[in-house]
């Protein structure tokens, strides 16, 4: 099982549901240098993601592979988590996962029962790390108290229009990773005036500036979705861009706060 440090930029695969495109984009991303691939049972693309990993000229142990169990895709009872994990392994055609998340803390999520399954999978040796997704601080702290294994990550929507300073501070204080999905605000952050201006000044893309802002704090990685070669390369190189304190402050002053991913029962309601 790989024990890799997460790079600042990984590959998200949400809505990458055309099997051929998904396979090729995952393969190409890995061969370009991506080492963190994120999927989920709910995305219905694990088979294609696994095929892309298998087709790439990089060994499985050099790739950090994450998936998620969903309360409405398979359920979050103890048995459902175990069966969902097994199904993910089968679809991905791999023998282990580096990280498994609880996709949403809704439905039949029960901290004691659900997280006991995660602990047992880690103990079994086929799961490297435990993650949660769309959890607020109270739910994260509850999970940390229940788990025997350390909490590795909380995956949340985070971008300049939704900075999540409270979760960022909590992740840094408690030494787990904050994984930012939709880090470009589904494209909406790219038109923000400060981001546009800094992109012109630096002669880089607005996406690069946005991702550099997202991944600037310690303990944060981003998993933007991309399929075309140009976007894959641009996003990956954003991990090398370092913004100045002044540039970060200009982006912090971006007007407007907006969430682009939501569902009934989410902890922020």
Residues with catalytic annotation? Answer: 43
Place of tokens 């309360």: 71
CA atoms within 13 A on the CB side of 101: 25
**Sheet of strand 11-12, all strands in order from the earlier edge strand to the far edge:** 11-12, 36-38, 64-69, 97-102, 127-133, 151-157, 177-181, 220-222
* Closest to 102 measured CA to CA, from 110, 93, 94: 110
Judge whether 46 and 91 are in contact, CB under 8 Å.
yes
């Amino acid at each position: 099982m790989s024990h890799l440090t997460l790079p600042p930029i990984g590959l998200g695969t949400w809505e990458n549901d055309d099997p051929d495109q998904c396979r090729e984009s995952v393969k190409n991303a890995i061969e370009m240098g991506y080492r963190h691939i994120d999927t989920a049972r709910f995305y219905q693309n694990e088979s294609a993601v696994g095929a892309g990993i298998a087709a790439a000229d990089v060994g499985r142990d050099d790739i950090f592979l994450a998936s998620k169990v969903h309360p409405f895709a398979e359920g979050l009872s103890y048995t459902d988590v175990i069966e969902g994990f097994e199904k993910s392994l089968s679809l991905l055609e791999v023998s282990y996962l580096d990280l498994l998340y609880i996709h949403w803390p809704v439905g039949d999520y029960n901290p004691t029962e659900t997280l006991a399954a995660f602990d047992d999978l880690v103990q079994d040796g086929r799961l490297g790390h435990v993650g949660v997704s769309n959890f607020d601080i109270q739910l994260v702290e509850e999970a940390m108290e229940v788990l025997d294994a350390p909490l590795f990550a909380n995956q949340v929507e985070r971008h300049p229009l939704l900075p999540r300073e409270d979760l960022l501070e909590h992740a840094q204080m408690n030494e787990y990773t904050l994984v930012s999905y939709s880090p470009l605000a589904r494209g909406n952050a790219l038109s923000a005036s400060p981001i546009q201006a800094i992109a012109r000044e630096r002669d880089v893309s607005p996406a690069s500036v946005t991702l550099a802002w997202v991944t600037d704090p310690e303990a944060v990685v981003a998993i933007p979705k991309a399929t075309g070669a140009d976007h894959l390369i641009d996003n990956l190189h954003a991990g090398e861009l370092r913004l100045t304190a002044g540039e970060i402050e200009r982006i912090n002053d971006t007007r407007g706060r907006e969430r682009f991913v939501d569902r009934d029962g989410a902890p922020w309601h």
